Amino acid sequence: MTGAGRAGLQRGVIALTQQNGNKKALITGGAGFIGSHLAERLLKRGDEIFVIDNLWTGKLANIAKIQGNERLHLVVDTILNESIMNELIFKSDCIYHLAAAVGVRNVMDHPVETLEINVKGTETVLRLANRFKKKVFIASTSEIYGKHLEHDLSEDDNRVMGTVKKRRWAYACSKTLDEFLALAYFDEKKLPVVIGRLFNTVGPRQTGRYGMVLPGFVQSALLAKPITVYGDGNQTRSFMHVDDAVGAIIRLMDEPSAEGEIYNIGNNQEVSINDLAQKVKEMTGSNSEIEHIPYEKAYGPGFEDMERRCPNIDKLRAAIGFAPSYDLDGIIQSVIDYYKE
């Protein structure tokens, strides 16, 4: 069987056809928001793509436009299925490891699954990649930095974590362990790895279902529903368009000097959540009210959030000449256009 169009929801490894002259790339979580955009970009340049996704947060609709491509192969299964992962990694040239539990709501509601997929899943990917010495991109997160306030965040900064009693920090700690493990494989086993810390990546196809703020704001504004801001809204974030993120990921994987290194992947244009809500309201022409809800009501007692999250991207710029091509207005407009369709 070739092509995701005929693969449907069949479990197991599909037939893997040989293509000449281009890379074969495995994308874990390839039916997710970022993974599906990455698959499109790699197909466009001629690569053959293998996608594995358990469709927990990923969706077949995300890859609907490329499902009929004969160079796309879909496996609906978990990355914890070692026999399938062994087969896929063996027949791939490189791995983009994006599969993870994502979204604040998801992490708060499913702590066991979050830790299992983020820690055990990454360990499986790295161990099998090392067996066949296949290059790996590890998708990490800006949550690694924790509760920093004083400056933009550089890759070598210390982390400031909350207590283990607060479930909010489980995701950050699981991704921290992923980074330690990846660097250990690089140092001890000489496995080529690249780590990218993604900052609030947004764009078409992202859902607000799991607590992603921008699509949630846009959907509410377009439906004339209240735009819900958690906390006082003075917390700041930096948003990056998915096209910029995917471009940076691919270029880092193509850059030999990036191996064994960690890079912030983000946009350093910072905005408060209050200002973001107001901007969404204005750009959609919405009459929606902006409502503030305490964190405790949204996520339960004792929830902690990060007051500021803005990346220093000097290292990424030096490595691949990176500069974001979307400003905040362009990012918001792309999400508005997507939901209007």
Q: Give the per-residue pLDDT at 18.
A: 37
Q: Is the pTM above the cut of 0.75?
A: yes
Active-site amino acid positions: 171
Q: Give the per-residue pLDDT at 208.
A: 74
Task: State the number of CA atoms in the 13 A half-sphere of 331 facing the CB.
Answer: 28
Structural domains in the chain plus CATH codes: 4-206+240-268+309-325 (3.40.50.720)
Q: Is the pLDDT of residue 12 over 60?
A: no
C-alpha span between 130 and 181 (Å, rounded)? 12
Q: Give the per-residue pLDDT at 79.
A: 96
**Is the separation of the CB atoms in 245 and 337 below 8 Å?**
no
C-alpha span between 221 and 205 (Å, rounded)? 17
Of the listed ranges 2-16, 145-159, 272-286, the one predicted with least confidence: 2-16
**Could you tell me which of 274, 266, 264, 284 has the C-alpha nearest to residue 329?**
284
What does the pLDDT look like over 55-101, one tens digit per residue?
988 999 999 999 999 999 999 999 999 999 999 999 999 999 999 87
Of the listed ranges 96-110, 114-128, 285-299, the one predicted with least confidence: 96-110
What does the pLDDT look like over 162-216, one tens digit per residue?
888 777 788 888 999 999 999 999 999 999 999 999 999 999 999 877 568 999 9
Q: Give the per-residue pLDDT at 53.
A: 97
Mean pLDDT estimate for the chain: 89
Q: Give the per-residue pLDDT at 17.
A: 36
Helix runs in the chain, H state only: 4-7, 33-44, 82-90, 104-109, 111-115, 121-132, 170-189, 213-222, 242-253, 273-284, 295-299, 314-320, 328-340
Q: Give the per-residue pLDDT at 341.
A: 86
| Cβ neighbours around 309 below 10 Å, total | 22
**CA distance readout (Å), 210 to 32, 247, 329:** 13, 25, 23
What does the pLDDT look like over 133-170, one tens digit per residue?
999 999 999 999 988 876 789 999 998 888 887 777 88
User: Which pLDDT band holds residue 13 (cuts at 50, 70, 90)?
Assistant: very low
Q: Is the pLDDT of residue 2 over 90?
A: no
- Return all residues near 3 (Cβ < 8 A) that are at least 6 apart: 67, 68, 69, 70, 72, 73
